Amino acid sequence: MSTAIAPVENLSTAQLDQLCINTIRTLSIDAVQQANSGHPGTPMALAPLVYTIWNRVLKFDPHDPIWPNRDRFVLSNGHASMLLWSALHLTGVQAVNADYETLGQPSVTLDDIRHFRQLNSKAPGHPEYHWVSGVETTTGPLGQGVATSVGMAIAEKWLARHYNRPDFDIFNYNIYTVCGDGCLMEGIASEAASLAGHLGLDNLCWIYDNNHITIEGNTRIAFTEDVQTRFIAYGWNVLRVGDANDIDRIEQALDVFRKTKGRPTFIVLDSHIGYGSPHKQDTAAAHGEPLGEDEVRLCKRAYGFPEDAKFFVPEGVYDHFTAGNGKRGAEARHKWAELFESYRTQYPDLAVEVELMQKRELPTGWDHNLPVFPADAKGIAGRDASAKVLNVLAQNIPWFLGGSADLGPSNKTLFTYPGAGDFQADTPEGKILHFGIREHAMAAIVNGLSLSKLRAFGATFFIFSDYARPAIRLAALMELPSNFVFTHDAMGDGEDGPTHQPIEHLISLRAIPGLITLRPGDANEVVEAYRFMMQLRHQPAVLALSRQPLPILDRNKYAPASGVAHGAYVLAEAPGGDPEVIIIASGSELSLAIAAHETLLAEGIRSRVVSMPSWEIFEHQSQAYRDSVLPPTMKARLAVEQGSILGWERYVGNSGRVIGMNTFGASAPLKELQKKFGFEPNQVVMAAKEQLKKG
């Protein structure tokens, strides 16, 4: 049986709306069926919502999907990615390359949708920011999208306060985030929602697909809280739409959101997850399984579509999206572009900042006046050196901001220069962000700020990178220049004991592809670490800093700290010939290696000290450079680091030695811990001599 669709000229606007909605549904059904993988139910249920947002509400120009003042759409329940691929395809969103150039070709083609979830398709299983233009953030791990959208909302508030002027609303966009039961069960969503309510982010709207279904079945088995009351308690404006198919009511609720001031909006959308024909409902299975060919045909019959046609876009659908989203978005962007040209004439310096920001470039003189620390045996803590650098950067880079998860005084991330200010609901110009004790949300929010082209950092103790790790991983996956500043990097907090002493964290972060991890060994290496980090455009960086003072090395005697830019460098060399033994160290153990080196030198043993703050940067150097630092013929090698020894064999070889941690730490004063675990100069000297004997 086949169904004929009426000629487009005979269709009313309401019928065209429904035709577009059903096209989203059938594209989703066909893509999942052909891939034999994916989630058809949520796209079927939420097609009216996504259609309404994209074609009736969203301020978004498909021909310039990176226009700075566009509205943002975030699909937090990323398993429903076919909703987004359908919207990007039907609206004709254009592809943009890494140089921010529009390529004149679709971001998502119908062929991409035919190859949903297949290699090289621009319609992967979950939205991927760096892979598909029009995707505002990578989603999939539930809760990440909603939390990241809070960062986007903070960014808009900050940008508007800094760059808007009378009659020049350069930034006034909104963020629309779709989420489901799974997102709201994740703790990160609670963290982010609480902060968003506190900050009164009235540019943020979460639409909750209230379908009572997760993978294991009905939510009553694990999730029976009163979600609406919970969000009221957070300080959100809570609305409810009782029928997910009522696009007029959905549009009305979104209009209420745009008129609501002083608090974010949470819209509860009651839906029934779709599964095949109206005669069959198996909601649990629907969440993650194709329908089957018979149900696909029944479904298309119910929608009035040809039952055997696959990936069918009826006549008039593309035109209807062009007349809606396309026309509205183009008009808004052209109007903004004209406004920005006038703005450029009146506020040229601010206009330059906006343009630099959009390309992730830095202003001229961004590293002017970075501190240079004189040699000092007593030294300075990594966190204190960091504080001095951060205060310079925040003044040199107008769009650089950040803060800590309630640890600002300890992380030393509270900007102290006049006018820095706190970011709060009534002072959105502030550069100091207070995330509260919400490490996971903090990291996702930093990603949201970075996606909005601000340069941002979040900070906490290194041990709590465990809580932030999922969002750090996504920063690497998205190729974002997010920065994460971690202090208390090893056993320097002694008496706090093993709960606060990171052991496995360095290697676990080094294992994340694309992430730069830096553990500087003195104050000048801290400066150079920041210098390197700030120039990254498509990679996130983690900085691990000491709590305790570290000696500031005499750079007239030892190599300059600029070697940090190579990841590892020869810090100290013995005169009189090639080295007999190589000692490699990072962080607080660098001064320990230097002390051992001086002792060996006094005993006539030629040692080389290699400072290795970053494995990742070192691995990107030429083979010739790496061999110059660690000559392959030199087998007598020793590494010293207060962390897991896992992975160090790549640098010390199978016969080398690592003084590191094979256990957790302990609660005791630092000097006692150093003695117990072998982090003393004499222990390093003895180990170096043992390596010489092996050689």
Nearest CA to 684 out of 667, 654, 660 is that of 660
Phi-psi region of 421 (alpha: psi -120 to 50; beta: other; left: phi over 0): left
DSSP single-letter state for residue 427: B
Virtual torsion, Cα 135, 139, 143, 147, nearest 10 deg: -40
Q: Which two tokens stand for residue 280?
A: 């069959």
d(CA 596, CA 207): 60
Please, which contacts does 369-374 make with residues 24 or more away whose CB atoms are closer than 8 Å? 369/396, 370/527, 370/530, 370/531, 371/523, 371/527, 372/524, 372/527, 373/522, 373/523, 373/524, 373/527, 373/552, 374/552
Q: Which of 191, 439, 525, 589 is catalytic?
A: 439
HSE-CB for 626 with a 13 A CA cutoff: 14
Q: Which residue has the tokens 């990007």?
A: 88
d(CA 342, CA 522): 48
Nearest CA to 682 out of 619, 621, 640 is that of 640
Q: Which two tokens stand for residue 348?
A: 């040229």
d(CA 274, CA 83): 13
In the residue annotation, 361 being an active-site residue is answered as no
Beta bridge partners of 267: 207, 239
Nearest CA to 529 out of 586, 480, 575, 582 is that of 586
Residue 339 near residue 369 (C-beta atoms within 8 A): no
d(CA 126, CA 38): 9
Question: In 3-state terms, what secondary structure has residue 101?
Answer: coil
H or E element in which residue 674 lies: helix 670-677
d(CA 27, CA 364): 49
Cα 85-47-69 angle, rounded to 5 deg: 60
Nearest CA to 297 out of 29, 38, 43, 31 is that of 29
Nearest CA to 631 out of 621, 639, 623 is that of 623
d(CA 106, CA 92): 6
Contacts of residue 151, defined as CB under 8 A and 6 or more positions apart, other chains included, come to: 444, 445, 446, 447, 448, 449, 450, 451, 452, 456
**How far does the chain reach from its first CA to its final CA, in angstroms?**
82
Please, which contacts does 223-228 make with residues 24 or more away whose CB atoms are closer than 8 Å? 223/181, 223/184, 223/185, 227/184, 227/268, 228/266, 228/268
d(CA 196, CA 436): 12
Nearest CA to 178 out of 61, 80, 277, 104 is that of 80
d(CA 126, CA 132): 11
Cα 344-350-351 angle, rounded to 5 deg: 40
Which amino acid type is present at position 9? Answer: E
Which residues are catalytically annotated?
439
